[in-house]
């Protein structure tokens, strides 16, 4: 049983799955990645809000940023409950997320909106897939944290009306969407190859079902399909 964090008072009962140290390590890795991802999402949305065309739009993006920060705090607190140092748990994923954002800095307001909508959508889908292999407590937390807080309707509406006003922007934005998904997948691959615990989690164990190569292939097919749907809802080809 890991040490509870200092401020929790009585020891909370963790699901039995955590008796396996490899499982615990994998969950700490996953929540660390997710938490750091939420924190950088806060960062990026807050920064992008400064390019908003007016104060009302700026407030919309700021609201999205703060929603992501709220998710961050929940994940950080759960890491504490697992007896992990939350910031140490995030550390291994900093470079990957920072690299992703450095390579996908939006050049304008519309690119920011697409990144918020398409990028978060893809990440959510991925974490949801992984959550299916976790104990119920962790799975519920992840699903709650990933729940769309209704902000994406705003991004879709803004991008669609910009394309309606000037159909030529559609081509450039479609390229942007493709670049986002390409970078996201290549960074995800780096994480999977560097963190054995996460790869092991997906592969399963004697007592836990996992994904074989065919299942991983099907997962990627689902991710790409959902991505194409999101692009279509923006009025863009995937």
Binding site for a copy of itself (CB under 8 A): 36, 39, 42-43, 46-47, 49-50, 54-56, 58-59, 62-63, 65-66, 69-70, 72-73, 76, 87, 90-91, 94
Nearer to a copy of itself, 43 or 183 (CB): 43
Q: How far is the CB of 46 from a copy of itself (least distance, A)?
A: 4
Give the C-alpha separation, 183 to 168, whole Å. Answer: 24
Of 110, 88, 93, 103, the residue nearest 38 (C-alpha): 93
Containing H/E element for 205?
none
Give the C-alpha separation, 201 to 23, whole Å. Answer: 7
Nearer to a copy of itself, 87 or 171 (CB): 87
Give the C-alpha separation, 152 to 113, whole Å. Answer: 9
Q: How far is the CB of 177 from a copy of itself (least distance, A)?
A: 26
Give the C-alpha separation, 136 to 47, whole Å. Answer: 35
Q: How far is the CB of 99 from a copy of itself (least distance, A)?
A: 16
Q: How far is the CB of 57 from a copy of itself (least distance, A)?
A: 10
Nearer to a copy of itself, 77 or 196 (CB): 77
């Amino acid at each position: 049983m890991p040490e509870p964090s200092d401020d929790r008072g009585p020891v909370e009962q963790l699901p039995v799955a955590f008796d396996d140290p490899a499982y615990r390590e994998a969950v700490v890795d996953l929540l660390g990645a997710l938490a750091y991802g939420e924190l950088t999402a806060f960062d990026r949305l807050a920064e992008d809000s400064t390019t908003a065309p007016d104060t009302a739009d700026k407030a919309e993006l700021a609201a999205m940023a703060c929603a992501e920060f709220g998710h961050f705090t929940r994940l950080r607190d759960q890491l504490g409950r697992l007896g992990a140092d939350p910031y140490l748990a995030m550390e291994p994923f900093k470079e990957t997320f920072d690299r992703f954002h450095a390579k996908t800095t939006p050049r304008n307001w519309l690119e920011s909106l697409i990144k918020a909508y398409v990028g978060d959508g893809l990440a959510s889908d991925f974490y949801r897939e992984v959550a299916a292999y976790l104990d119920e407590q962790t799975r519920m937390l992840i699903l709650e944290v990933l729940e769309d807080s209704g902000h994406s309707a705003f991004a879709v509406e803004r991008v669609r009306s910009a394309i309606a006003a000037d159909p030529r922007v559609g081509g450039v934005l479609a390229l942007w969407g493709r670049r986002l998904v390409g970078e996201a997948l290549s960074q995800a691959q780096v994480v999977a190859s560097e963190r054995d615990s996460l790869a092991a989690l997906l592969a399963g164990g004697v007592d836990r079902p996992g994904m074989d190569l065919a299942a991983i292939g099907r997962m990627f097919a689902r991710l790409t399909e959902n991505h194409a749907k999101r692009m279509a809802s923006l009025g863009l080809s995937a």
